[in-house]
Structure 1
């Protein structure tokens, strides 16, 4: 499945943004000062990276509610599609579902194996992965998403754990935002860091 849209420079193609997003995913409501301390990046650089992540729907900003005097801080959290929502992310999910429905109407093929809500989750996930620079192959029967070869893992081998954690968090957020029965089960392990197969599951099967 392809989106039919021009390729764009991914917000998470920069490892600095990946590192910032990883820290925000692990602990929400971070300030610029928090991130500067954790990453040693210049405050203006952090602000630029955060704005790019906000523009792509990965991060949301909110103004701190204060009951004392002083300028309220801006707090940054990852858009997880459950407790924190991004209007950009919501629009992306809706647009992906519409494009997916259109493609299934005009392209011949076997009837889909998944129900519409699950299909829309897959539509949103595939488009987000394409935007991130992947070429996903979906197996609706086995509920897998094959991202092999993972060029990002090879190029940033020393940061593979952080990259994988961020990408898995983003995938779960997309599935949650799209709404439906599917959830992220995890990534299949492999001795080859370029191999990346994501396992989905029906949320009702969680123990």
Structure 2
């Protein structure tokens, strides 16, 4: 891994910086530091330090406010979308590669099985403590879906909720340029990632299937309540 890629990984390894970057992407306009700080719940000075790191790494651009009244102009911050997407893809790619390499040479049934196991391990390293079941199935169901969507958004998959939250469309794949050649392995890792996230956030939801994208379409992730998949298990579906 080169020096630039290492710096990218370090910047994006911080959950607070990821929250700031996601905020700037969602707002789609330049924001002053105090507004960013209020939105993410951090002190202004801490927020400014995070923004400076994001600017230095090429994820955010800084400009001076144009004022028509007297007073000192504020510094404004705006996300650079193309850099952010490329960096998140790089982070996801590097993380998965490192996990696959850890299992290299160990006896496995198949490369897809190894990839699914790597995906489960990936979920365990997302920096989220997870949550135990509350005893209320509907509450746990909603919490699982929210956690899954949040993690997939942070990893750059651009999830969209469909069909009462039991079907998610994944509009972006960090591995799109290589998945045509190694689709089974890549999709297996993503299936394991989703399974691992749902296991860490306990509730009734399990993975039913992941259908890879066709040309110009999104991948489709199907979820089901536990009793509905107890016998069937989860699977990859050929496009």
Normalising by structure 2, what TM-score?
0.45
Using the TM superposition, give the Cα deviation of residue 123 of structure 1 relative to its aligned residue in structure 2, in angstroms.
Answer: 0.9
**Which residue of structure 1 aligns with residue 69 of structure 2?**
none
Q: How many residues align?
A: 134
Is 1:18–2:96 an aligned residue pair?
yes
Partner of 2:128: 89
Quote the residue 1:188 is aligned against: 211
Q: Are residues 1:154 and 2:176 paired?
A: yes
Per the alignment, residue 144 of structure 1 pairs with 167
- Please say if 1:176 is aligned against 2:215: no
Aligned residues of 1:11 and 1:17 also touching (Cα < 8 A):
no
Q: Which residue of 1 aligns with 2:221?
A: 198
SS in 2 for 1:158: coil
Aligned to 1:130: 153
* Higher relative contact order (Cα pairs below 8 Å, separated by 6+ residues): 1
2:90–2:174 Cα contact (<8 Å) kept: no
CA-atom RMSD in angstroms: 3.7
> What displacement does 1:132 show?
0.9
Q: Highest Rg: 1 or 2?
A: 2
SS in 2 for 1:154: coil
- Secondary structure of 2:127's counterpart equals helix
Deviation at 1:151, TM superposition (A): 3.9
